[in-house]
Amino acid sequence: MGLLVPAPGEPELLAPVTPAIAAGRTLAPLERTLAEDRRRLDALAKSFETAEAVYTEARQSGTQCSTVLKGAGEIAATIDVAVGLCKSELLTAQPGGRRPPEILETVVARNLELLSRGVSQRTLYQHAVWNHPPTAEYIRTVAEAGGSIRTVDEMFDRVIICDRTVAFIPTLSDSPDEALEVRDPSIVRYLANVFEYAWARGTPVDPAAGKRPEIVVSELEQSIVRFLVAGHTEEKIARGLGISRRTVAEYISRISRRLGSVSRAQLGYLIATKGLLPEPENERPCDP
């Protein structure tokens, strides 16, 4: 730190230096380096601000309000930036019964950071998440931190909506490495309305409950009944509800035992005669 120097005429001895002088000698080079880094940082930040302004103006003035994102890396990076810039609200719909644990580890920190900044978060899952412990634990963690989470029986495709200004949805392609970034205000508003409709009929997640709500089981059974009556196979029911074929078989077996059915044909008859079919005005298409 330069606080001691060889004594004049006696190099084997060390003499103290005034701390202020030692500090000036030691810190001055560091301060010059920091000042130069700060100037470079400011210059880069201004350049990116200019690029963002030009990019936004071009997008808003042109007719192209959607961008196809290709590649898992580009999709993840674009969504991360948009979510990181959220100021007020993040809406997310995640169909299916489970999310990969490595994805959950990545997004949980981001979700908690947004909540700490006061960003409102609402997320929709399918009831099937309760059959996947890592996903169930993740949504409980987010719910305990203040995020609002609900589950529904059937759901549309995945969607992410940031501040109701930009949305991300799958493309028509079967490839998971392709998504669509939407900035058209009318389309984003429509997607938000679809989300709100599904949200209104969702079952809230209570982090203090410690287990899945009984209504979730009931709604899953009702959905399976609708699929069965429509003549769908166990495999198609599993795809529509985001659960495994084995889970569907277990539910059908449970319903059969409850009704005293010994065959699939008798099960359909008992469903009809026991009044388990939904009222016509409440029916929804079986194909998601």
pLDDT of 57 higher than 90: no
| Placement of tokens 């010994």 in the chain | 262
Going from the N-terminus, what domains does the chain have, and what CATH number goes with each? 64-204 (3.30.870.10), 214-282 (1.10.10.10)
Say how many residues make up the chain.
288
> How would you label 167-188 residue by residue, b for 16+ Cβ within 10 Å and e otherwise?
bbbeeeeeeeebbbbbbbeeeb
The yes-or-no verdict on residue 216 having pLDDT over 60 is no
- pLDDT at position 280: 46
pLDDT tops 70 at residue 224: yes
Supply the pLDDT for residue 288. Answer: 37
> Is residue 193 pLDDT above 90, yes or no?
yes
Using CA of residue 8, residue 10, residue 11, residue 14, what is the dihedral sign? negative
**Confidence class for position 188, pLDDT limits 50, 70, 90:** very high
Q: Is the pLDDT of residue 133 over 90?
A: no
Q: Is the pTM of this model over 0.75?
A: no
Residue 103: the pLDDT is 75
Q: Give residue 163's pLDDT.
A: 93
User: Mean pLDDT over all residues of the chain?
Assistant: 79
Can you give the pLDDT at residue 62?
A: 57
CB 188, CB 159: distance < 8 Å: no
Taking residues 12-26, what's their average pLDDT?
A: 87
Q: What tens digit of pLDDT does each residue of 151-161 get?
A: 887 777 889 99
Which of the residue ranges 37-41, 60-64, 69-73, 185-189 would you say has the lowest mean pLDDT?
60-64
Report the DSSP pairing between strands 178-182 and 66-70: antiparallel
Residue 89 has pLDDT above 90, yes or no: yes
Output the pLDDT for position 131. 66
